[in-house]
Amino acid sequence: MAHPLDNHPILRMNGAGNEILVLDLRGTAHVLAPEEARAIAAAPRLRFDQLMALHDPAAPGDDAFMRIYNIDGSLSGACGNGTRCVAWALAREGKERLSLATDAGRIETRREAETLFTVDMGRPRLDWRDIPLAREADTRAVNLDPPVAGAPAQFSAVSMGNPHAVFFVADAMAIALEDLGRKIERHPLFPERANVSFAQILSRDDILLRVWERGTGATKACGSAACATLVAAVRADLTERRARVRLPGGDLHIEWRADDHVMMTGPVEFEFETRLSPSLFEGAAA
């Protein structure tokens, strides 16, 4: 029996180096299962950091409903770099501004230039229950207890629709990202796991950042982590409310506006469009 995604078109893109797939399922009733996402990731040339699946809008005024998958098949509440890639894909239909619904809330985008987009990532969630943490804490400075060898003793916790632990360090490049990221992601403090960031403050408007994403691993960029890091830095009086965030894949420009919304501006790059091979899903349940 044919799989509903056999020969379905899919876009390969990147947002500041974040490896993104855009799968347009509008007009179909298919919802991607975790094992199907993993099967796509296993295909030659289709490994991704996040897969953005688009569905028909569920509410008037929305352009699409968006589900975001990590490489392990788990769902993510937010992906700023992937959202910019979606904005580029839908701009081909003449849509310069978008309203995209997700399980974590609504996201607005606008096109600034040919391959430059701004995403309104919404308001950060700062209460320990909303991130969530396993216990009550002042989220500006949470003790990492039990401690993790080699990790700083404290972090700042922020949710941008997904949980983030931001560690401010003197030298982000000296951090053993894969070792610490893997351990801290599943620390008992985080009932839903966490994205783990190590941030080095270069100046009041310049941050160097390395990120371990839950469900994916070390990535070249993470838009929601860049947003969470600026929010954490402002709360600690380390930066102003607007800064450049330097990631291994490129720079993002983040602003935490006075209305509490976090705006992210950055580039996208189209790599190629292909079709999903029928053989991909032979072992995956529909």
Catalytic residues: 79, 222
Residues 6+ apart with CB under 8 A from 176: 150
Sort residue 42 into left (φ over 0), alpha (ψ -120 to 50) or beta: alpha
Tokens 């501006």 sit on residue: 265
Alpha carbon distance 135, 132 (integer Å)? 9
Joined together, the tokens standing for residue 42 give 């296993």
CA angle 245, 251, 252 (to 5 degrees): 65
Q: 142: which strand partners? A: 155
How many whole angstroms separate alpha carbon 269 and alpha carbon 256?
25
Q: How far apart are CA 286 and CA 281, in angstroms?
A: 8
Q: Whole-angstrom Cα distance, residue 159 to residue 145?
A: 19
Query: Which residue in this structure is represented by tokens 């769902």?
Result: 75
